[in-house]
Amino acid sequence: MNSTPVLKSKLIMPELSQSFLLTERLKKLHTNMEPCRAVTICAPAGYGKTSLVVSYYNALQALSFRVCWYRPDPEDKNLSVFIAHLLEAIFPPEAPEFAASRKAISNHADTQLHPRNAIPVICREMWAHHSHTRTYIVLDDFQNVAQVQDICDIARYLLDNLPPSCTLFILSRANLNVFTEKQKLEKKILEIDSEDLSFGNAEIEDLLFSMGQAAVDRKLTDIIEKSTEGWIAGIIILYQAVKSKRFNNASFETGKLGHEDALFRYMSLEVLKSVDEDTQNSLALLALLQEFSETEASEILEINDITSLIRQCMGFGMFIQRIPGTAVVYRFHSLFREFLLNTLKDRYPEEQIARLHLKAAEYYMRHAAYGRFGEHLAKCGNSATAMDMVTKAGFNKFMIGETGQLKDWLDLLPEDMIMDNPILLLFKAQLMPNSRQPEIVDTLKKVLKLSLKDNNLAIYYDAASVLIYIYMCGNNMKGLLEMSEGNPKNLQNFSPSLRNTLAIIDMVRSIAKERFSEAEEQSESIQYDLLPEDNKWLYLILSCITYYCMGKIDQGERCMKAALKLYSFKNIEPSKGFILLFLSMVLTLKNEREYLDSHIAEVLSIGEKYDYDYLSAHGMRLAAFEKYLAFNVSASAEMLDHAVFHFLRINNMAMAAACRLLRCLWTVGSSSPALILEDARKDIALISKSCPGMMIYESSLSILGAIARESGDYPLAENFLLESIKEATAKNGYQVLCGSYFHTARLYFSVDDAEQGHHYLKQAMELGAAGKYFMFWDIHIPTLVEMALRGIRCDYCTEYAIELLNRFYDISTVNYLSERVKNMDESRITAFVDNFISAYKADKPEQLYFVKASLFGKPEIFINGIKIPDTEWKTKKVKGFLEYLLLGSGNTISKEALAEIFWPGTDSKSSVASQRTALYYLRKILSEYSAGVTGNNAFIYETPEGLQIRKNDALELDIHEFLCLYEEFSTLKNHTSQMEQEQTEILERMLDLYKGDLMENSDYGDLVFHERERFKSIFMEACQKLGSTYVKRRELRQAEEILRRALRAEPYNENVCLELLKLYMSQGRRNKAIKLYYSFKKSMEQELI
């Protein structure tokens, strides 16, 4: 939201026209307004709505109050634009008394992604800090945005939730029922319409006298009243026409002047004729602009003597408004502007008007006034220059991550301009919410056709990449095949680099057909170094999928670790989320869990933050495996239920069914076997029909075979397991094949077919040992333990079997099992394993938990991968209590110190009671999220001396990692190229961790303040060193981004500013350097005042 440009002129109350006359009737309306909570003024243009409100505030000048004025334009229908302007109107950034409120709103959860969430915070801040100040909030020209239901809802919400010191004014041309009937009954709302604003005969006389009429002319007054029916705009323009001596009274007696607008146009033409031709032309040109300053008139329209021109215009009375500010802005009354625009068409050719619109669009684009930019671009036609400007500007915004702004002004462009341009159409598709996926797919297909037609194969590939992502997320192999069949790589006349990139689509086709060996060959034929930076991550993910489907897990892991090093995606969280997801998949299949919990937690966090169900679904699925491997079957089943929910939300029926099958296998003993099998067979039929690819069907066949075996239906089990082996063998899916072998071996041992059992067991052990497989998508712990023990007993790859058990149990347990099975009768092994697993689950150690917390920026806390939302905390102080303990983790913090920080000024007894209460609620929440709260397993350890959060394996804290990295960086002194690369990677990781100031918006004593400054100092040092490294490597875009980020953190840091100036000058970007210099100079001067 904060990145949305705000047009200041919309937020300044206009000055009162010199021709305004405050009549007794208007004074009475002023009096009626005073006690109201809301005032609505609905009347057509020219009835003096704005003048009435401005005159009311002018009459209140002796009192203490403030006016928050906002005049929405038609482009403000975009909700984020509307709220950005409303926020700035209510809490102007230049006023220091509103700084805390603005910060509270900007830090509020989800306001960037869901701008409407800012409205409750605005109301809360008005109650908390500004409820004693009389405040008037004015929404002028509300008809421009009244069609947007969300904006009308905001007006109603403000009325209900702002403090009584606030009054809401709604000015609109349309007779809108902004407020509900209930609100009209409960609140004091004044409704003013055109009849209330109409001037009577006596008032018209007084008005004409104030405008210079020397003597009363009752006949003229009567004619004006009859012709205008009290419409103030008509009164003034009609009098101006008479004053110009171009009419006599008889001109008005025909009674044929017609509608108000027609009267206005007719009389305006006569008044316009009273000035010279050059002035008429200038006025017509100025009407091109909704509002204009001297600079705009000069640069866009080349009208230089704006001051004298405006002086002449003021003779039109209310038909031009002067809006004061740093630069004075003028705007014509809407009726007069419409009239001038009509005369413009008669005075200038269409081509010249179109060129002026293009010039205006360029000006407003440079000044980030995207609403004005869109307005003029829509009127300049589909010229090549306009299209080139739009495309280039859109690409730049997309690359620097300003997608919110890009969406705002794309919404303002003509639909045909977007639909005919593959680049803009691609932006539009990428900015659509996930809930509109069918529309996204259709749009991307159009992009493919348009880009092929234009021979723009780079855009073709970009659109194909997005389609690949969508189809992969839905396991839609049919869609992938259809898309990849159109791969234009065999066309002529494009570069080897682009041909190399397009070869990725061939990989996609092979993956869709589950020809993984073929996909592997294609992957290895692609020249990685020739791929553009932003295409490497997709290539690596597709390669990873290929490798893990084939059971080549180490290669898959290398791909994802390489993807993590791609700098351009480290700061784009959704992309990083996908990389971490696939890395987590291969680590799960390797059963290497050292970093797995934190990776899964981050995947879930990103999925929740951006509402990406694909990340949430797979993250929950992986978390389910973690719970199952920790022998917590009920928790794993719950996680699978969550995964099913998210898969269904993205219409991925196959993965939802696969998760249900796995749940059946893990809980097979708790329900009726017949019912379980019936549901499982329905799910396998659904998966078969969906053709989900990526070995999902083959592993699901194995799972269903295992379910049938555990349910006692051995023939059915044999049928599905042998089918799984056949399919996995054909596709070279060796890890899935190994899992199927294990399940098939247990089946044959269960039916006393030892020969077949040993046959499949030996194959499984040899395949598992060769591939180092320690986890499987069809895992069933009783099966795995039994087969490992049988392998030990029969000396089938014994070392592998022992290592397999070591991945699930401690060394003493593995030794016990290995010794017991060596001399056990083979027929007793299955029962022994089942009894052991049942007993082990019943006698498991204290519950384990893992806490991941971040204190940089807005603090966040995850327990076992699940984020504790802000709504869970009883009060902010309870959450702050935990954050402070985390900051001091590893140290005991005395209860007296905590009392002084959190309950200052209270007596000892009260502070102790408050502390116990806070600790109670804190432990309650931690317990609900499965963290230990008692005994030696407690996350918060209490001693007589105080409270402590211990530094151990149960805690991962971003500030700890940040300091460790800094220490590691400081120890690297050599300057070899390898050492410099290590230093660079460390600095990049440090900057990834630093999401903002330590514990933003928290002010808990000197410790937080000093630590915040210490960490910021380290961050600034890292930025400058990394920036220097990038400059040295000629990676100038990255260097600029780092230095700009540092300058945002410390706007008055002269060293950073100097480095950025040097960088701009070295690139020949002199204008950029000058702009930065004067901006920094101005900031420093303001700071020193």
pLDDT tens digit sequence for 357-388: 989 988 888 887 777 887 887 787 765 666 66
pLDDT at 391 over 80: no
pLDDT for residue 259: 47
Cα–Cα distance between 488 and 813 in angstroms, integer? 59
Q: Do 38 and 133 belong together in one domain?
A: yes
- Asked if residue 40 lies in contact with residue 170, where contact means CB atoms within 8 angstroms, the answer is yes
Using alpha carbons, select from 898, 920, 922, 924 the residue that is nearest to residue 911.
898
pLDDT for residue 68: 95
In a domain, 173, yes or no: yes
Position 753, amino acid: D
pLDDT for residue 113: 54
pLDDT for residue 474: 86
pLDDT for residue 509: 92
In a domain, 506, yes or no: no
Q: Do 725 and 750 belong together in one domain?
A: yes
In a domain, 904, yes or no: yes
Which of left, alpha, beta for 177 (phi over 0: left; psi -120 to 50: alpha)?
Answer: beta
In a domain, 433, yes or no: no
Q: Do 355 and 302 belong together in one domain?
A: yes
Convert the pLDDT of each residue in 464-486 to its tens digit: 888 888 888 888 999 888 888 87
pLDDT at 221 over 90: no
Cα–Cα distance between 89 and 206 in angstroms, integer? 36
pLDDT for residue 253: 46
Q: Do 294 and 412 belong together in one domain?
A: yes
Q: Do 69 and 91 belong together in one domain?
A: yes
Residue whose token pair is 């080139």: 388
Q: Do 215 and 186 belong together in one domain?
A: no
CATH number of 1068's domain: 1.25.40.10
Domain boundary (428, 443, 462) is at 428
pLDDT for residue 951: 85
Cα–Cα distance between 222 and 200 in angstroms, integer? 10
pTM (predicted TM-score): 0.57
pLDDT at 1 over 50: no
Residues 877-884, mean pLDDT to the nearest whole number: 90
Residues 58-75, mean pLDDT to the nearest whole number: 87
In a domain, 190, yes or no: yes
pLDDT for residue 111: 52
Cα–Cα distance between 440 and 214 in angstroms, integer? 69
A 10 A CB-CB count for 240 gives: 22
How does strand 329-332 pair with strand 946-949? unpaired
Cα–Cα distance between 619 and 722 in angstroms, integer? 30
Residues 982-1005, mean pLDDT to the nearest whole number: 87
Average pLDDT over the chain, rounded to an integer: 84
Q: Which two tokens stand for residue 560?
A: 């994802």
DSSP string for residues in 473-511: HTT-HHHHHHHHTT--TTSSS--HHHHHHHHHHHHHHHH
Convert the pLDDT of each residue in 718-737 to its tens digit: 999 999 999 999 999 999 99
Q: Do 319 and 413 belong together in one domain?
A: yes
Residue whose token pair is 């012709």: 227
Q: Do 78 and 92 belong together in one domain?
A: yes
Domain boundary (953, 979, 997) is at 953
**Separation of CA 587 from chain center:** 28
Q: Do 285 and 268 belong together in one domain?
A: no
In a domain, 723, yes or no: yes
pLDDT at 847 over 60: no
Q: Do 187 and 227 belong together in one domain?
A: no
> Poorest-confidence range of 36-45, 767-776, 794-803, 866-875?
866-875
- Asked if residue 1000 lies in contact with residue 1021, where contact means CB atoms within 8 angstroms, the answer is no
Q: Which two tokens stand for residue 301?
A: 């329209």
Using alpha carbons, select from 481, 491, 415 the residue that is nearest to residue 454.
491
> Poorest-confidence range of 191-200, 561-570, 994-1003?
561-570
Q: H or E segment at 860?
A: strand 860-863
Within a 13 Å sphere around the CA of 436, how many CA atoms are in the beta-carbon half? 11
pLDDT at 601 over 90: no
pLDDT at 1057 over 80: yes
Position 805, amino acid: L
Q: Residues 746, 547, 504, CA angle at the centre, nearest 5°?
A: 145
Quick one: what percent of the chain has pLDDT higher than 90?
36
Q: CA torsion sign, 696 to 698 to 704 to 706?
A: negative
pLDDT at 647 over 70: yes
Residue 796 or residue 64, greater confidence: 796
Cα–Cα distance between 832 and 1078 in angstroms, integer? 80
In a domain, 187, yes or no: yes
- Asked if residue 102 lies in contact with residue 87, where contact means CB atoms within 8 angstroms, the answer is yes
pLDDT at 550 over 60: yes
> pLDDT band at 255, cuts 50/70/90?
very low
CATH number of 855's domain: 1.10.10.10
pLDDT at 530 over 70: yes
Domain that holds residue 255: 201-272
Quick one: what percent of the chain has pLDDT higher than 70?
89
pLDDT for residue 842: 41
Residues 6+ apart with CB under 8 A from 900: 1005
The size of the chain, in residues, is 1089
pLDDT at 952 over 80: no
Q: Which two tokens stand for residue 355?
A: 């060129």
pLDDT at 400 over 60: no
Convert the pLDDT of each residue in 115-143 to its tens digit: 777 888 899 889 887 888 899 999 999 99
C-alpha gyration radius of the chain = 36
> pLDDT band at 317, cuts 50/70/90?
very low
Q: How many domains does the chain have?
A: 6
Q: Do 743 and 672 belong together in one domain?
A: yes
> pLDDT band at 392, cuts 50/70/90?
low
**Separation of CA 423 from chain center:** 21
CATH number of 396's domain: 1.10.10
> pLDDT band at 264, cuts 50/70/90?
low
> pLDDT band at 510, cuts 50/70/90?
very high
Domain boundary (272, 295, 314) is at 272
Q: Do 880 and 1014 belong together in one domain?
A: no
